[in-house]
Structure 1
């Protein structure tokens, strides 16, 4: 599966991990462009790194500003945008969510992407308030963060039962000192964060419910397995029953 509408093709294995978010994001961009009667939207991608989402969004025709603290990531973003032919629609800016409003204009964006950021910031609530402050009055937020329950399930299935139990009880969802993520979230925690910033959650999806658990050799060698797994991911993403075991959680939020 690959994005439609001229967006950058996504490799089969990568699509299993990004398809759910991309489907929600692309639909939200389309609806917003129609509702505002502006085919070209201003999109801000905080922590956007090398442009995994920024470049496909730019290929849809929108203008994307990527804010990331890593100069190396921004250099890779520039190269990737050039290869995709969207250099004129992608701008990289060095910075982070803490000082976001010092490097981008407040209330200047139709949509803000905040993907894989909240796990690392010191104050998640303040980070969400900062990205929301960059939204126009009718703007939308795409929020993606690591899921607490997914880590518990993954450690248990790997045979690390003590770590699974630790992650289950830990306030930040960490499985121990060797855990590379400072924190994980539940869907309830993410929706509370967006509500505290003045937004309402339009949708919540589980991401990578099965993709990280299925052996790669099965997906890569069994005919049709990747396509069927992708269909399963898309179907399960909308079922709240699977949110508690998803590797990541995605929230699309708008102003009340």
Structure 2
């Protein structure tokens, strides 16, 4: 599992960006607005006015967990790194909220939580790193209550090929497209990338019902940073462009990440 400390909430998604200012705030908003918009809508759908029980699997230092706790929800982060859990504790304390941190992996979820107990489980940037994505998602589904939801964020294999080609590594891009794990070679630091169909197959095989997959960071990772990171107005235009592109059937394929919300019936 990976540290997602960079996944801060954006104003566009109904969350704060405390501690993020200037160009960094603009860049962060452009890269995360689509996910936080989806989570805002999901929270409204799941909540009846009461706090939700949320589990953030592989939640790192609390980049997602702390903003959710600030909204009044009860959030538990399951994270294998003690250092990340210590940073989570500090971040939560600085924000004046309580977030429970538990050391563990996705395979530990069944022993850490009662079955059917979580209203929402976040699985962001995790399936790329676990040994068995199908088993991990089955464990996640096991602790999700009927009617609850799972938020999935994964690295897109097709975009990986595009980015390698744009960087001048054409043969690596070709290899990535044909590799079942979406890797460009032995030196690739990413253990796995997923296509849209692979993500949908994992959702269906876990017993969850998946809604449409959205694209995240369609343009933000291919445009030169100098074109927008220092300009708040240009950055906001990029945020709006990312939102428009997220559901575009032709542009989803080149998004750096794929986001899906799946429900347990």
Alpha-carbon distance between aligned partners in 2 of 1:118 and 1:55, rounded to the nearest angstrom: 22
Moved more, 97-106 or 2-11: 2-11
Could you say what secondary structure the match of 2:43 adopts?
A: helix
Structure 2: which 5+ residue stretches go unaligned?
1-9
Q: Is the 8 A contact 1:7 1:57 kept in 2?
A: no
- 1:17 pairs, out of 31, 35, 59, with 31
- 1:85 pairs, out of 93, 96, 109, with 96
Show the counterpart of 2:153. Answer: 144
Moved more, 100-109 or 207-216: 100-109
Q: Alpha-carbon deviations, 1:56-96, whole Å to 9, x = none?
A: 11111111000000000011111111111112xx1000000
Task: Show the 5 A alignment for 1:1-256.
Answer: 2-3=11-12, 5=14, 7-9=16-18, 11-33=25-47, 37-87=48-98, 90-222=99-231, 224-256=233-265
The TM-score, its normalising length taken from structure 2, stands at: 0.90
Structure 1: which 5+ residue stretches go unaligned?
none
Alpha-carbon distance between aligned partners in 1 of 2:141 and 2:107, rounded to the nearest angstrom: 12
Alpha-carbon distance between aligned partners in 2 of 1:32 and 1:212, rounded to the nearest angstrom: 32
Alpha-carbon distance between aligned partners in 1 of 2:37 and 2:188, rounded to the nearest angstrom: 30
Q: Would you say how many aligned residue pairs link Structure 1 and Structure 2?
A: 251
In structure 2, do the counterparts of structure 1 residues 164 and 125 end up closer, same or farther at CA, with 3 Å as the change threshold? same
Q: Alpha-carbon deviations, 1:162-201, whole Å to 9, x = none?
A: 1111111111111112211111111111111111111111
The TM-score, its normalising length taken from structure 1, stands at: 0.93
Supply the RMSD in Å over aligned alpha carbons.
Answer: 1.5
Q: How far 1:8 moved relative to its partner? A: 4.4
